[in-house]
């Protein structure tokens, strides 16, 4: 890919590293593009946020391609990860400390299979209070971190596939195929709740978004090297 392609409009696939925000990736790539192109401004955006504790496919749109972001975001997503049963956190993942423990001895393979199938299809899902949802003009996570009371309305979502592997119980490995707007942290939390226990998302990776796959993605450093080595 040459610099003209970057500047005029391009879509690149990044394997987002752990603990980076999606905006960290955008800002890093934008800075390098501006330096290489010798410009003060260039449009760079992402098509679907990943939490800092998630890794995997982040679609970055540059220049005129930023106009396609909304079209890309409606695509079905695939995630893999791990749920720890028997514990919960306020954020439903490891962003916050464990705040409760629950028994897991009563959970059988049959019960887990029954709960797993209950997630398939159309449903209403309540987002985590530690999310970027707007509540009275404020981000829900800002209110939650300040100790405020957060009430969020449920989203209509669709889960077309949900597989689990319990060989390392109480850690449950999973793969889920879902619609836009699905919170995997909420699936982890609700999965534990439906088992009369608790659940926390302890690992998450996005492997697909629409027609784009993680197999085609490069690291941030690899993209920076491509940008630096590009010519007009």
Q: Tell me whether the CATH fold assigned to 3-74+214-229 matches the one assigned to 77-209.
A: yes
Q: Which residues are catalytic?
A: 51
Burial of 70 (0-12, 13-18, 19+ CB in 10 A): exposed
Instruction: Give the length of the chain.
Output: 232
What is the fold of 77-209? Pseudouridine synthase (3.30.2350)
The predicted model gives 140-159 an average pLDDT of 81
Asked if pLDDT for residue 145 goes beyond 80, the answer is no
Rounded to whole angstroms, the Cα distance separating 186 from 43 reads 32
Torsion of CA 62, 68, 74, 80, to 10 degrees: -20
Among 24, 20, 96, 80, smallest CA distance to 203 is for: 80
State the pLDDT at residue 6.
76
In tens, the pLDDT along 127-138 reads 887 777 777 777
Asked if pLDDT for residue 1 goes beyond 70, the answer is no
Domain assignments of the chain as residue spans, ordered by start: 3-74+214-229, 77-209
CATH architecture of 3-74+214-229: 2-Layer Sandwich (3.30)
What is the value of pTM for the model shown?
0.93
């Amino acid at each position: 890919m040459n610099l003209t392609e970057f500047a005029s409009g391009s879509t690149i696939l990044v394997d987002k590293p752990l603990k980076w925000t999606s905006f960290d990736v955008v800002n890093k790539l934008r800075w390098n593009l501006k330096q290489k192109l010798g410009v003060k401004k260039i449009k760079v955006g992402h098509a679907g946020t990943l939490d800092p504790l998630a890794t995997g496919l982040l679609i970055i749109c540059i220049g005129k391609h930023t106009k396609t972001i909304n079209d890309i975001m409606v695509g079905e997503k695939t995630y893999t990860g791990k749920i720890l049963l028997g514990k919960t956190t306020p954020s439903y993942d490891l962003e916050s400390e464990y705040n409760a423990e629950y028994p897991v001895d009563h959970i059988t393979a049959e019960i887990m299979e029954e709960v797993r199938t209950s997630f398939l299809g159309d449903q209403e899902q309540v987002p985590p209070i530690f999310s970027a949802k707007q509540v009275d003009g404020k981000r829900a996570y800002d209110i939650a971190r300040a100790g405020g009371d957060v009430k969020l309305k449920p989203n209509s979502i669709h889960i077309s596939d949900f597989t689990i592997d319990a060989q390392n119980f109480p850690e449950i490995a999973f793969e889920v195929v879902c619609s836009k707007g699905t919170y995997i942290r909420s699936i982890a939390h609700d999965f534990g709740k439906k088992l009369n226990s608790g659940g926390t998302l302890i690992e998450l990776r996005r492997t697909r978004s629409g027609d784009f796959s993680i197999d085609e993605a490069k690291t941030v450093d690899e993209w920076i090297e491509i940008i630096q080595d590009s010519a007009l």
